[in-house]
Amino acid sequence: MRSFRRHRTLVAVLLCAAAVLAARPTVAESGGDGGVSPAFVPADAGVSAQVARLFEEAAVATQQYEAGRRAADRQRTQVRRMEQLLGRERRQLAAFNADLGRIARAHYREGGGMPYTAQMLLADDPDELMRGQRAGRQADLALDKAVTRSRRAEARFAVGEARAATAWRRLEKRNFELGEIKQDIQRKLEQAQWTLQGQADASVAAGSCRGAVRLEQPVQGRTRPWVAPVESYELSAGFGSGGERWSSRHTGQDFAVPIGTPVGAVGAGRVVKVSCGGAFGIEVVLRHPDGYYTQYAHLAAVTVDQGERVAPGQWIGQSGTTGNSTGPHLHFEVRVTPEVGSGVDPVPWLMKHGVPL
The per-residue pLDDT for 90 is: 72
Tell me: pLDDT of 260 over 70: yes
* Model confidence pLDDT, tens digit, residues 44-98: 568 888 888 888 888 888 888 888 888 878 877 877 787 787 777 777 777 767 7
Higher pLDDT, 62 or 247: 62
Q: What is the DSSP string of 135-176?
A: HHHHHHHHHHHHHHHHHHHHHHHHHHHHHHHHHHHHHHHHHH
The per-residue pLDDT for 332 is: 97
C-alpha to C-alpha distance for 137 and 265, rounded to whole angstroms: 85
The per-residue pLDDT for 284 is: 96
Residue 32: which pLDDT band, with cuts at 50, 70 and 90? very low
Tell me: pLDDT of 348 over 90: yes
Residue 15: which pLDDT band, with cuts at 50, 70 and 90? very low
The per-residue pLDDT for 109 is: 57
Residue 301: which pLDDT band, with cuts at 50, 70 and 90? very high
Residue 312: which pLDDT band, with cuts at 50, 70 and 90? very high
Which range scores top for mean pLDDT: 34-38, 82-86, 276-280, 347-351?
Answer: 347-351
Tell me: pLDDT of 314 over 60: yes
Average pLDDT over residues 265-280: 92
Across 336-350, b (16+ Cβ under 10 Å) vs e yields: eebebeebebbbebb
C-alpha to C-alpha distance for 220 and 312, rounded to whole angstroms: 9
Stretch (H or E) spanning 107? helix 46-107
C-alpha to C-alpha distance for 41 and 47, rounded to whole angstroms: 16
Average pLDDT over residues 325-344: 93
Within 10 angstroms of residue 322's Cβ, the number of other Cβ atoms is 25
Residue 36: which pLDDT band, with cuts at 50, 70 and 90? very low
Q: What is the CA radius of gyration of the chain?
A: 37
Tell me: pLDDT of 26 over 50: no
The upper half-sphere exposure of residue 327, i.e. CA atoms within 13 Å in the direction of its Cβ, equals 12
* Model confidence pLDDT, tens digit, residues 191-223: 888 888 998 998 888 887 777 888 777 766 567
Average pLDDT over residues 150-165: 76
For the chain, what is the mean pLDDT?
76
The per-residue pLDDT for 3 is: 38
Higher pLDDT, 144 or 17: 144
What is the percent of the chain where pLDDT is above 70? 71
